[in-house]
Amino acid sequence: MKLIIHGGFFTESHANLETKIAKQQALSAIVTKGYEYLKAHTAVETCAYVVGLLEGNQLFNAGLGSQIQSDGRVRMSASLMDGASGRFSGVINIENVENPVLVAVKLLDKEDRVLSGEGALRFARNNGFGYYDPIIPQRQEEFDAKRNQQENKGTVGCVALDADGNIAAATSTGGKGFEMPCRVSDSATIAGNFANRFAGISCTGVGEDIVSAGVAVKIATRVSDGFSLKEATEKTFKELKEIDGFAGAVAISSTGEVYHLDSHPHMVWASFDGTLQVFP
C-alpha cells in the first residue's frame, strides 16, 4: 500500500516559515491518517477521504479557503478516478458546497459523471449537500485588496495504491484566483487527474499549461506502455518545459513506485508507505 498527497505550490515558502511548517505538519498528519484509512478501504475510497480532509483545511486552495474568482465568487472543481474501473467523475465550477470531491464520489456510478456549474450544484443539493460558504476572511481581504493571487497556488490531490493493487487519484481546487468567472481548471480533467491499472497521477500548477501538455493522462499512458513512473514523469515534464509550463505532479505506479516532480519549486507534498516523507 502506498499513499502520496500534495497541497499545491508554496511560493512564499521563504518569506513565511510559520506557514511552511504549518503545511508540513498538516500534510504529515493527513497522509498518516489517510494511510490508516487505506488499510481498511479501497484506493478510491481513500483518495476521496483524504482530499476531503485537505478541502477542510484552510491552508490549502480547495474547499474551505478556496481562491476567489474575479467576480467575487468561489467556484471549485474536483475529480476522482478509479484506476480499476476506469471511471472518472468530477464537478467543474461548483459553488457553495463544503466538499466538492464528495460530490464527485456521488457521480462515480452515474451515467453522466462530470457536471458543471448550476447542474453540479443542483445535483449536490438533491443528494444532501447543504449550503456552505468556503470564503475565509483572509481570502476576502486578499480579494478586496485585489492582490494578484496567482502566486498562492495550493490545490490538493491524492494518489493511493490499495492492498488489492488498485490505484485511484483525486484532485480538488479553488482555481487560480482572480480568473475570469467560469474559467475551467485542469483539476476535473484527465490532464490534471488520471488513474488506470498502471498508474495514478494528481497535478497542480497552471491549469492551461497542464491541459496543453496533457500531463496526468500522458504519464499514465507512458507507464502503461512500459516506461517506469520516473521516466514517464520526467519525459512529460520535459515536454511541459517546451511550452514553458508550470506544474507539479504526485504519482504512484502499480509496481509500487512513488514519485513527485515539479517544474518550479516548491510543490508541497507528503507520502506514506510505513515511512512518512514530507517536503523539505
Strands 193-195 and 199-205, sheet pairing: antiparallel
Segment interacting with ligand ASP, rule: CB under 6 A, options 132-140, 182-190, 250-258, 269-277: 182-190
193 contributes a contact to ligand ASP by CB under 6 A: no
Q: Which position has the grid cell 464528495?
A: 102
Segment interacting with ligand ASP, rule: CB under 6 A, options 68-76, 79-87, 185-193, 225-233: 185-193
Positions in 196-215 near ligand ASP (CB under 6 A): 204-207
Q: Of the candidates 53, 186, 250, 268, which one interacts with ligand ASP according to CB under 6 A?
A: 186
- Considering only the C-alpha atoms of the chain, give the largest distance between any 2 of them, rounded to a whole number of Å: 50
Provide the mask over 30-69, with x wherever binding to ligand ASP is found by CB under 6 A and - wherever it is not: -------------------------------x--------
Residue nearest to ligand ASP (CB): 207
Under DSSP, the state recorded for 240 is H
Positions in 115-174 near ligand ASP (CB under 6 A): 153, 155, 173
Q: Of the candidates 69, 149, 187, 263, which one interacts with ligand ASP according to CB under 6 A?
A: 187
Q: Is 204 a catalytic residue?
A: no
Nearer to ligand ASP, 178 or 259 (CB): 178
Q: Of the candidates 79, 99, 185, 271, which one interacts with ligand ASP according to CB under 6 A?
A: 185
Q: Of the candidates 7, 8, 63, 245, which one interacts with ligand ASP according to CB under 6 A?
A: 8
180, with CB counted inside 10 A (0-12, 13-18, 19+), is exposed
Residue 233 contacts by C-beta under 8 Å, 6 or more apart in sequence? 201, 219, 249, 251, 259, 261
Segment interacting with ligand ASP, rule: CB under 6 A, options 99-107, 113-121, 179-187, 271-279: 179-187
Which of 32, 46, 155, 173 is an active site residue?
A: 155
The 8 Å CB, 24+ separation contacts for 82-85 are 82/43, 82/44, 82/108, 82/166, 82/168, 82/195, 83/43, 83/166, 83/167, 83/168, 83/169, 83/195, 83/196, 83/197, 83/198, 83/199, 83/200, 84/43, 84/44, 84/166, 84/167, 84/168, 84/197
Closest CA to 61 of 74, 47, 42, 79: 74
Q: Which residues form the interface with ligand ASP (CB under 6 A)? A: 8, 61, 153, 155, 173, 175-176, 185-187, 204-207
Residues labelled as active-site residues:
155
